[in-house]
Structure 1
Amino acid sequence: MAKAKVLSKEEIKRVMRIADTGRNGLRDRVALSLSILAGMRIGEIAALKIDDVRGIDGNAVSVIHLAKHQTKGNRSRRVFVSDELRKLLTSYLATISGLDGSKALIRSTRTGVHFSNVSLSLRLKAIYLAAGISTSSHSGRRTFATQKNALGIGMRTIQHLLGHANIATTALYCDVSDEQMLNAVNMSNM
């Protein structure tokens, strides 16, 4: 199976513009952003409840605590939320403020319940295709890991951000560009 594409900044902007044009634009943008900006798995996004991301003040939390049943590998984990993602989540939460916190954060407008992993994966893949990008829903997660690696963030930190048990798995997520390699050899130790 081929690796999911790592998205460029321009491709991310295009994908977000496409998501915004849909009937459920903000919801789709939030789902994509949880993948691209927080490195969350599709199953983790699908399993989120409103109270997982909503703080006491009604705004988005800075750390999402995922229970064992919400993750791959049946291990609880923390997802750290960037300022950009918190702002988007807070906007989305304002649109659904009247809903019970135990309801699905990303839910089907048809049924009102959680998307299945497959349904959410197909939804994100359709948005990518509409943006002219042929890839899987896993692109957001790979993009997140590769961007962090390009910033010089250590592999162990990226491993924890992705919730991987094995650092070798994390290394598979991180593409390395020619520019990064050139910068690395030009760094001086003297």
Structure 2
Amino acid sequence: MGDQICEYLDYLSLEAGLSVNTILAYGRDLCDFAGFCGGSGIESIASVNSSIIISYQHELALSGKIESSVRRSLVAVKMFLQFALANGISSQSVTELLESPKLWQKLPQVYNTDAVKRLLDAPEPQSDRFYLRDKAILETLYATGMRASETVSLRVNDVNLKIGYLRCIGKGNKERLVPVGVPAIKAITEYIKKQRAQLLNDEKPCEELFLTHSGRPLERTFLWRMVKKYASRAGLGPRLTTHSLRHSFATHLLSGGADLRSVQELLGHADISTTQIYTHVDSDRLKKIHKEFHPRA
């Protein structure tokens, strides 16, 4: 089954255009599924039957995984089985047995503008060696709502500081243009002029905008640790992450009067229902709407 999984993952990469992280996650899920099948004496996807599917779902339910992980695992298996059926690898359809669990919709963690300002002001020129870079990263995250993976892959040529826009490559290699505000433009400009050239490795020049001390592209884990460091310094607690800035970006736009479609485009959401969650986060906005339109407010 391993060769069949590799063939399917190649299809996801070359034809479906899914992101590297998604393909890696699906690959892990399918390897787990293949291991379960192997333990049951099934070595080929063509031999997968309804009893194996039911047993695997039961195994996942008892695994202790969170609902979102179980849901992703079942989606990965379902898509793999559909691929096998469509390409003649398997002759039987058992995908109707794969029902994903219903997920509770959790409200994202959002910080008010004062808390975000404290975070953005946390880097200190006197004590932080890479103050200019860190300041530029934090300002960029909040100004654009980009994901951590999108931020670390941002290249110098993707940023147009004169007109205040950047080109972002999101999930599935989808491209979008995002405006950049004046504070972020100022921070990025200062970083490029005063620090980035010092970080560059002349032997291995790098196109990415944000670099490590050795001139290499940053990794997502670095961004996660950096944000945690400055959140702690600003007294904002351990729950603040890079994604918290993305949530705050979207919520603050909607609070300021932005329409849902525009926020969807800025975030790069394929489905507007994903963006709609932010309309439930801002309690002040909800109270204002209720007071204005409810007959008994």
Q: TM-score, normalised by structure 1?
A: 0.81
Among candidates 76, 96, 111, match of residue 7 of structure 1: 111
Task: Extract structure 1 runs of 4+ deviating beyond 4 A.
Answer: 1-4, 96-102
Among candidates 111, 130, 136, match of residue 30 of structure 1: 136
Aligned counterparts of 1:160 and 1:32: Cα–Cα separation in 2 = 21
Larger fraction in helix: 2
1:175 and 1:88, CA in 2 relative to 1: closer, same or farther beyond 3 A? farther
Number of equivalences = 181
Give the conservation status (yes or no) of the 8 Å contact 1:60–1:93.
Answer: no
1:181 aligns with 2:286: yes
State the shift of 1:60 in Å: 5.0
Aligned counterparts of 1:10 and 1:107: Cα–Cα separation in 2 = 29
Aligned counterparts of 1:170 and 1:81: Cα–Cα separation in 2 = 20
Aligned counterparts of 1:131 and 1:14: Cα–Cα separation in 2 = 6
1:78 aligns with 2:177: yes
Structure 1 gap ranges (5+): none
Higher relative contact order, structure no. (Cα contacts within 8 Å, ≥ 6 residues apart)? 1
* Higher Rg: 2
> Deviations along 1:36-90, whole A, 9 cap, x unmatched?
111111111101122222x4xxx55522123xxx422221111211233222222
1:93 and 1:153, CA in 2 relative to 1: closer, same or farther beyond 3 A? same
User: Which residue pairs with 2:165 in the alignment?
Assistant: 63
Give the conservation status (yes or no) of the 8 Å contact 1:42–1:117.
Answer: yes
Matches within 5 A, 1:17-166: 17-20=121-124, 21-53=127-159, 55=160, 59-66=161-168, 70-96=169-195, 98=197, 102-109=206-213, 111-133=214-236, 134-135=238-239, 136-166=241-271
SS at match of 2:242: coil
Give the conservation status (yes or no) of the 8 Å contact 2:110–2:247.
Answer: yes
Aligned counterparts of 2:255 and 2:248: Cα–Cα separation in 1 = 10
1:29 and 1:114, CA in 2 relative to 1: closer, same or farther beyond 3 A? same
Give percent identity, aligned residues only: 28
User: Which residue pairs with 2:272 in the alignment?
Assistant: 167
